[in-house]
Amino acid sequence: MINFKSAEKLAKAMETTNLKNDAKKEDMDKLVSDAIKYGFYSVVVSPYYLSYVKKQLKNSDVNVGTVIGFPLGYNEVLTKELEAKNSVYNGADEIDMVVNILAIKVEDYDIVKEEIQRVVDVSKDTVVKAIIETGLLTKQEIEKVSLIAQESGADFIKTSTGFNNVTGAKATDINIIKRVVPKMKIKASGGINNYKTAFRLLSSGADRIGTSAAVAIIDEFNKSKENYEEHFDKKSII
């Protein structure tokens, strides 16, 4: 089980996100300043804001991620390939790609494999995460697409977009993925808005947490740590 002894260590496992379609530049500025202040691993923004945010973070060690095929994933393979090329050109350190859920549902797994492979190929050294939308899949489908993601060269499996009105990241889904592809990295995302949930998912085997509530989670961690230390300080006095 993961035991975070500092907010700094926890922050390095978190990707702070703003993918709202009404987000303004001042929202991006806040996202960037928070990422630098708290030391988050990365920020994840829409392709529209990718270049802007990349410039804002040029003198920091915070990575920049973006999304393609977002949020439904049913774009054609060529479209995703072009999105990936454009994202790399605009400075993305990491790409989160929604896989074709429709193709999974009709068992057209060749398409799923092809799109991941082609995005990986054009992304070169850029990290690629395959978003599989676990809340829409059966256990068998999660197992199948996890194996395909591994075979196709993706660096991470990401649980969900958080945009499809379904249950987000669950520890049981993390367990399934870890059992089937134990060497794959996992990004848990969707509905993670408190430290308890983040801790449970990281303890289940997730390597990263993607959330729009990253600041609140760190603040909650710090508060819990303060209360814990205060409790034991009082006990030692007594």
Per-domain residue ranges of the chain: 7-237
Active site residue 170: no
Nearest CA to 173 among 217, 212, 136?
Answer: 136
Q: pLDDT tens digits for 57-100?
A: 999 999 999 999 999 999 999 999 999 999 999 999 999 999 99
Active site residue 85: no
> What is the CATH number that goes with domain 7-237?
3.20.20.70
The predicted pLDDT at position 4 comes to: 76
- Residue 18 β-bridge partners: 45
Please tell me what DSSP assigns to residue 135: G
Tokens 């870890």 correspond to 178
Contacts of 149 (CB under 8 A, 6+ apart): 99, 116, 130, 132, 157, 181, 184
Which member of 34, 93, 96, 155 is catalytic? 96
Distance between CA 167 and CA 57 in Å, rounded? 32
pLDDT in tens, 92-151: 999 999 999 999 999 999 999 999 999 999 999 999 999 999 999 999 999 999 999 999
Residues 6+ apart with CB under 8 A from 158: 96, 129, 130, 131, 132, 186, 187, 188, 189, 210
Listed in sequence order, the residues at least 6 apart from 107 whose beta carbon sits closer than 8 Å to its beta carbon are none
Kindly provide the residue ranges of all beta strands, DSSP E only, lying in the chain, ordered along the sequence.
Answer: 14-18, 42-45, 63-68, 94-98, 127-131, 156-158, 185-189, 208-211
Decide if 96 is catalytic: yes
DSSP symbol at 22? T
Query: Which backbone phi and psi does 54 adopt, to 5 degrees?
Result: -60, -45
More confident residue, 210 or 230: 210
Say if pTM beats, i.e. exceeds, 0.85. yes
